[in-house]
Amino acid sequence: MGKETGFLEYKRINNGDIPVKERIKNFYEFHTALDTEKRREQAARCMNCGVPFCQSAMNLGGMVTGCPLHNLIPEWNDEIYRGHEKHALSRLRKTSNFPEFTGRVCPALCEKACMCGQNSDAVTVHDNELYLIETAFSKGYIEPMIPSIRSGKKVAVIGSGPSGLAVADELNHRGHNVEVFEREDEIGGLLMYGIPNMKLDKSVIKRRRKLMETEEVVFHTGVDVGKDKKAKDLLKEFDAVVLCCGAKKERPLAAADPASVKGVYYAVDFLTQTTKAVLSADHKTVKALKNQTGYVNAEGKDVVIVGGGDTGNDCIGTVIRHGAKSVTAIEMMPKPPVERRADNPWPQWPKVLKTDYGHEEAISVYGQDPRVFETTVKSISTDKKGNIKQVETVKVQFKDGKLTEVKGTEKSLKCDLLLIAAGFIGCEDYSADAFGVKRGPRGTVVTSEGGYHIDDTKLFSAGDMHRGQSLVVWAIAEGRACAREVDEYLMGYSNL
């Protein structure tokens, strides 16, 4: 696939970034695309591997490398190189429902397994995918696919995150009548309100919704199943019900409870407020945001973020745009090495230090990397009104599988705003309780072994609610697999 000598002739070129000083003035996406000729050169670097690890999703060294969707990457890279975008699109859509999402927010497990990456730089699979789907939308290649025959079966999907949308998309194209119930005012789950606009512009989600509605998927927003809508009524009305409610039960921070300390918030709540305010503004600029209300403003504040994952990074980028006085990001785990070590060879997931956009922006604005590793919050201090004013941190280390504090390493930090981005510990109780489903040790819904069906019922579950906190690409993969199982349940067979 691609050009036989392409990987020797062309060097890897990533999509560009708008300079930090300019992009932190707004909430617009900040990546710039290559022109078509350069993009085809990047696709030409695909090596025609005998065994393309990029589409394998192998578990090596305890982590997955390669695409969970098993995207036919060499095939559509070849078509991009040859200028056959329509053919490339047909291969991409065969395995992927929403390339416009993964092309923006996926950490590109495919690239970590790319054969080029063994001795050089991997193929720009992530950027190629985004180019392909955006080219398809801009040129009108994406047209509604409305089933000519309906099965007469009705399916309810609870939750409209990436897994719920994938379930709905697959089952609708199969010919079932699908209705999606979402408690927020917009569909998308964490895609909409958990990921900042500069990382995933919300018009992309609204564009997909419009397409799915044209294809006759019905969305009910502002409907909280288990509260506004009774589970028993859905079970009577629909032939199958799929629970895709996510894993939004936050991991608490023992030293600070958002319910009792002013100035302490869970990260997703904070990001949600900002995104809603940004979408309410006439323009997605920092100046326009300041005229909005109803969100926690970090302007002029000393901010401490607990958690070093993607959500913590998104918080860094967001508070910088607010105009925070300072940012410190506390991470409990040790600092990863800058380069691969012998115990982490290709094609394993590279356990190396990642400097993401938020870290890059903090370095530019404050003059240093905001991350402090092997550290946790030991206690907090508040003023007489209960507002947080200071956090006391302490160094920690893992010894014999246990986390212990290192005495004498306590340090005080000014803090006007504490954001908890420590991850999630399962689905919210009321969602599962409404349907009477069991939860396992990770707080996720228990289904049939290796499947998505819940006991001997018409209930199914997929995505983070079933798998636990994970990536968008895994949620889509789960949604697709679950849809096939639902289809078999309804029809006795499946061609999905």
Q: What is the pLDDT of residue 400?
A: 82
Taking residue 121's Cβ as centre, other Cβ atoms within 10 Å add up to 15
Residue from 81, 199, 92 nearest 142 by CA: 92
Distances (CA, A) of 300 to 308, 327, 412, 415: 22, 11, 19, 11
Give the tokens for residue 370.
Answer: 């905001």
Residue with tokens 């309410």: 280
CA distance 63 to 350: 9
Query: What pLDDT, in 10s, does the model give residues 385-438?
Result: 999 999 999 999 988 888 899 999 999 999 999 999 999 999 999 999 999 999
**C-alpha closest to that of 272 among 191, 330, 327:** 191
pTM above 0.85, yes or no: yes
What pLDDT shows up at residue 4? 87
Report d(CA 329, CA 306) in Å as an integer.
Answer: 6
CB-CB contact of 111 with 46 (8 Å): no
- Return the CA Rg of the chain: 23
Quote the tokens at residue 311: 């959500």
pLDDT of residue 46: 95
HSE-up of residue 102 (Cα within 13 Å, Cβ side) = 31
**Kind and range of the H or E run holding 381:** strand 375-382
Q: Report the alpha-carbon distance of residue 1 to residue 146 in Å, rounded.
A: 33
Pairing of strands 31-32, 16-17: antiparallel
Nearest C-alpha neighbor of 179 from the set 197, 193, 163, 160 = 160
| CA 304, 26, 139, 76 torsion-angle sign | negative
* Consecutive H or E run containing 430: helix 429-435
Tokens of 150: 């309906």
Q: Can you say how many angstroms the Cα of residue 175 is from the centroid of all Cα atoms in its chain?
A: 28
Q: What is the DSSP string of 115-181?
A: GGGGTSPPP-HHHHHHHHHHHHHHTT-------SS--S-EEEEE--SHHHHHHHHHHHHHT-EEEEE
Q: Are 73 and 64 in contact (CB under 8 A)?
A: no
3-state secondary structure (DSSP) of residue 88: helix
- Domains by residue range for the chain, with CATH: 6-138 (1.10.1060.10), 154-249+425-491 (3.50.50.60), 264-420 (3.50.50.60)
Alpha-carbon span 328 to 72, nearest angstrom: 41
Q: pLDDT below 50 — which residues of the chain?
A: none
pLDDT of residue 399: 83
Angstrom distance (rounded) from CA 334 to CA 342 = 18
Query: 295 in helix, strand or coil?
Result: coil
All residues at 6 or more sequence positions from 22 whose CB lies less than 8 Å from its CB, including other chains: none
Residues 6 or more apart in contact with residue 380 via CB below 8 angstroms: 255, 256, 261, 264, 388, 390, 391, 392, 415, 418
Residue 1 has a pLDDT of 58
